[in-house]
Structures are given as C-alpha cells and as structure tokens.
Structure 1
Amino acid sequence: MTEILISIITMTALGFLFSVGLVFAYKKLKVEEDPKIEQVSEALPQANCGACGYAGCRAFAEAVAKGEAEVNGCPVGGEDVTSEIANILGIEAPEVVKQLARLHCRGTHEAAKDKGPYIGISTCHAAHLIGGTKQCSFGCLHSGDCVRVCPFDALHMGEEGLPVVDEDKCTACGKCVDACPRNLFELHPVSQEIIVFCRSLDRGAASRKACKNACIACGICARACPEAIVMENNIAVITDYKKISPDKIPEIEKCPTDAIGRLHKDTNEEEKEEEKKEDEG
C-alpha cells in the first residue's frame, strides 16, 4: 500500500513540475504577434481565394501588417476593405480601381466553324491538348473550366456556348484568367468599355474562314483611333483605352466582324446591327 502511495505522489509531483516548466517555457519562448494581424484578418472577406497572391486571407493579413503587401491587394474586398485596413494601419487609403473579368472571344457555336467531334474528358485543358473542336485554334473551347473554378458563382455558360460574366458577382479574383488554357480572360477596369473580342493571330482570310466574328486585321479601328489602337501580329491591340474619345467609337465599331466594340449597347443599337447583318447576308 505504501509503495502505491509513493508512486502516486511521485507521479503527481513530476506532473506538477513538468506543468510549471511548460508554463515557464511558454512565457519565455512565445513569439509576440502583432495585434494588427488579427485586426486586418478580421477585416478581410475570408474568401481564401488566393487572388491577392497569398495562400489565404490570414497569410495576406500577415504580409500587410509587415509591410510586404499593399493594403489594396484584396480585389474581393474592394474599396471598403482597403479603407478599413488603411485605418487599422493608420495610413491613407490608396485608390482602388474596380475591375471585372472580360472574355476576349466571340466564337459562339454558330460563329466558329467546327473542326470535328471531341470524344474525351470534358474540360478545356483536355480539349486544348488536341487542338479543340473548332477550326480556330485561339478561341473558346466551350467546356467551362472557368465556370467551375469561380468561387463566387460569377460565371455561367450561355446558350451560345460562351461563358458569361455576372458583373454584380464578379470580384476580379482572377481564377478564370488562370483557368483558361487559351488566355481568353483578362481583368479590366469597369470604366473600359471598348474591348477586342478576339485572340486569333492568324491572317485575315484564315481567321474569317474559321470564325465570322474574328479579327481580320483590316485596320479600320487602328486608323480611326491611332493614338489608342494599333495592329500587332494580325490583331488589333488597345494600348490605352482612356484615349478613345466618344466621337471615335462609331468609326471603331465599323469593324466588319464586330471583333472590337463596346461591351454594353442599348437594345435599339443591337437590333439595328442584327438587321444590318441580315440585309448583308
């Protein structure tokens, strides 16, 4: 009986000593965390989408607190989150330019000619490996990889076979940009209304044969606004959208294939264009 009591007392004493040692070690060796890290982390949307370039919101908060990341580096949070983080750090909030994902392709099922049937894994990356099912080797593959990776449900496949961006839901996280094997998505400021809706680098005749909405490098847009649009590698390139004045837009939109133009047009304009195409057809 005495031996049992001695064992119990010994184990209790050792446990107490080890506990005291651990408490002492914790207080002596613990790393003090900047309280701003937690404050910044709480201000973030906790989407953990990686759009900021870090592994998650917590990692971004740590980088911001250390001065390694810009306070406006969270595209999901936008201006409100940027202002809150700047207030926590005691600095002036920088300007936040809201961006949206834009698709640079109008190769619909009807516009882009088929090359042949595809039998395989239903993903854009898989189809891209064998050249896709369309004659255009630069256009949309219609399998919706971009839709599947969007964490904000801001994309869906439209009836014409192209992904459609929901501007109210899009946060410019950039997931669709990374997902597209043909680099058809880009992030643009919401103020940019004029877009080149094509990525084909083929010569005009070949592009027109593959897709009736392709850029044919005719140069109409570049001649209409040379200070903002140039022709490079058989395609129109917008060098500075801010230099496109409203009076130049009608001339730019004389593009015979609608490969460049405004993102948003009123219903009357669209109806007139459709009637014009039918008359020309």
Structure 2
Amino acid sequence: MTFLFPVLALGGTGLVCGVVLAIAARKFAVTEDPRVQEILEALPGANCGACGVPGCAEYAKAVAQQKLPIDLCKRGGAATLARLSALMGVKAEARERQVAIVLCQGDDSRAVRRGLYNGLADCVAANAMGGDKGCRYGCLGLGSCARVCPAGAIEIKPGRLAEVHPDLCIGCGLCVQACPRGLIRLVPESRRIHVLCRSRDRGPVVKKLCSVGCIGCGLCAKIVGNQGIRMEGPLAVVDYGVQLENDEVTARCPQHSIASRPGRRQA
C-alpha cells in the first residue's frame, strides 16, 4: 500500500498530461496544403536555388501559398511551367528560353597578363586584388561561374577563359551573379550576334591589352543604323530586344569583337 499512492499519482499525472497534449495537438495542428506535395513532384528536384529560395521544397510551399510566381523554375522549363499552371489554376505564358553568354574572348593567346596570380582560385578574390589580367574588364578564368552552375554548362578553356555551352545552359542566372566583373549575361536563345567585350577603355589602350577588344570605332552601329547595336561611350553594346540578323557587322568588325554564336540547338 505504501507504493500504491505514488504509482497512482504518477499515472494520473501522466494521463492528464497526455490528454492536455492531445487537445493541444488537435487545436494547434497546422494543416499543409495538399498541393505542396503535388507541386514538389512537378519540380525537377535539382535544389539549385535559382528561383531565389533554398530548395525545391521551399519553392513548392511558396508557390502553394501564392508568395512566389510559378515561372521561376528555370531548370524545369516549359514542361514544369505547364504542370504548375494546371495545379495552381494560373495561366502563364512560356517565355523564350534564356542562355548565358560570356562577353569576353580574351584568353591567354589574345589578352595580355600583367603578372602571375598565385592567390585563391576564385574570381571574386582575384578581382579584389586587381587580378593578373592587363584588361581590368576581362574574364579572370578562375571558374567561380563554373562552380555555381547546377547544369555543368560552363567550361574553363585552357587559355583561362570561361565559355558557356548553350545546349546545357538552363538559364538560371547563378553565373551572372557569380561573375565579379559583370561579364556574363542572360540573352534570348534566338539571338546569335554578340559584342564579346565589356571594356570601357579607349581604343589605343584596348589594342595594347587585347587583340579582340572593342575599340569603339562605331562602325557596327552605323551599319545597322543604331538598330540592334548602340554605342555606350567607347563600347558597342547589343540591344537584345531587337532581332539582329545583319552578318555584315560581324564580317566588318576590325577587331573581330563581334561574333555569331548559335543559341541552344532545337531538339
């Protein structure tokens, strides 16, 4: 009998606590939108973060709660967009796919290097020190862009120049954010004519530093009547809002700074 009372007291306390917890669990239960799992299954599962949130699960929740639009998954493409549109009952027009391009041709055979960089193999770190390239606008070629690419679409060529393979590019834009010199841009995949230079130096300086750098002669802009290419100070810049098909600008560029690069091949 001595032990009976403590046992009953302890058992009663446990029973009361269990009842309280059961009531609390029912009252404060959070019901998850069943669409979250359906949305998650529609996503590619790459967890690349290109949509702006840490992973596909978080993006699925944000879409279900209508906190983010349904067209942010670049890797999924048109097929994923169509499934999310059906699940959410939202119409979304498929936009032209974007591909990244590196606006520089200055590899070691074309561009001057002013020294030997032996620091951390990271473009941001090298850029903070000025880099070892003579052109302060050129590609550092240390692969920061390639390391963040979830599709393996960027190759660092032997001459220390980054190059995007358009057939592999998913247009996520992570490489654009990774480049400390702003050399990578997302462009519509149908655009094939590009000024592959970002130097703002004057012509004589550019010629000393890079054999394929834009010298700001303005010939290309004159050929197209400033429709598709315009001059921004000493640099020719392509207006990707215009479908530029004039191959004369490529052929007549004295520095060969303008190149014709195909976008993603059609399947």
The equivalent of 2:258 in structure 1 is 260
**Greater relative CO, 1 or 2 (CA 8 Å, sep 6+):** 2
Tell me if 1:97 matches 2:92: no
3-state SS of paired residue (1:96): coil
Give the letter for the 2:189 counterpart. Answer: V
1:29 is aligned to 28
Q: Which runs of 5+ in 2 are unaligned?
A: none
Shift of 1:69: 1.9
| Percentage of matched positions with identical amino acids | 37
Could you tell me which residue of structure 2 aligns to residue 140 of structure 1?
139
- Residue 199 of structure 1, CA deviation: 0.7
Per mean C-alpha deviation after superposition, the further-off stretch among 38-47 and 206-215 is 38-47
| C-alpha separation in 2, matches of 1:188 and 1:82 | 20
Indicate how the Cα distance of structure 1 residues 8 and 129 shifts in structure 2: closer, same or farther if over 3 A, else same. Answer: same
Cα distance in structure 1, aligned partners of 2:102 and 2:72: 23
Task: From the superposition, tell whether residues 3 and 76 of structure 1 become closer, same or farther in structure 2 (CA, over 3 Å).
Answer: farther
1:227 and 2:227 matched: yes
- Between the aligned partners of 1:93 and 1:84, the Cα distance in structure 2 is 10
Deviation of 1:110 after TM superposition, in Å, equals 0.9
Q: Deviations over 1:89-119 (max 9, x none)?
A: 1232321321111101001111001111223
More deviation in 130-139 or 53-62?
53-62
* Corresponding residue number in structure 2 for 1:68: 67
Are the equivalent residues in 2 in contact too, given 1:215–1:235 (CA < 8 A)?
Answer: yes
In 1, are the aligned partners of 2:47 and 2:54 still within 8 Å (CA)? yes
TM-score of the superposed pair, with normalisation by structure 2: 0.91
When residues 120 and 17 of structure 1 are mapped into structure 2, their CA distance, relative to the original with a 3 A threshold, is same
Pair 1:253–1:4, CA change in 2 (3 A): farther
What is residue 83 of structure 2 aligned with on the other side? Answer: 84
Contact 1:101 1:187 in 2 (8 A): yes
Shift in Å at residue 75 of structure 1?
A: 0.7
Alignment partners' CA distance in 2, 1:221 and 1:37 = 51
Q: Could you tell me how far 1:241 is from its partner in structure 2?
A: 4.8
Cα displacement string for residues 179-225 of structure 1 (whole angstroms, at most 9, x for unaligned residues): 11111111111111111101100011111111011011111110111
Q: 1:191 and 1:3, CA in 2 relative to 1: closer, same or farther beyond 3 A?
A: farther
Query: Hey, what does 2:247 align to over in structure 1?
Result: 249
Q: Return the letter of the residue paired with 2:194.
A: I
Asked if the contact 1:192/1:241 (under 8 Å) is kept, the reply is no
Partner amino acid, structure 1, of 2:258: I
Superposed, 1:115-194 pairs within 5 Å as 115-194=114-193
Q: 2:117 touches 2:132 (CA, 8 Å); kept in 1?
A: yes
Whether the aligned pair in 2 keeps the contact of 1:224 and 1:252 (CA below 8 Å) is no
RMSD: 1.8
Q: Which residue of 1 aligns with 2:197?
A: 198
Instruction: Give the TM-score normalised by the residue count of structure 1.
Output: 0.87
Unaligned runs of 5+ in 1: 266-281
Give the SS at the match of 1:209: helix
SS of the equivalent of 1:68 reads coil
Residues in 1 aligned to 2:24 and 2:190: alpha-carbon distance in whole angstroms: 57
- 36-45 vs 176-185, which deviates more? 36-45
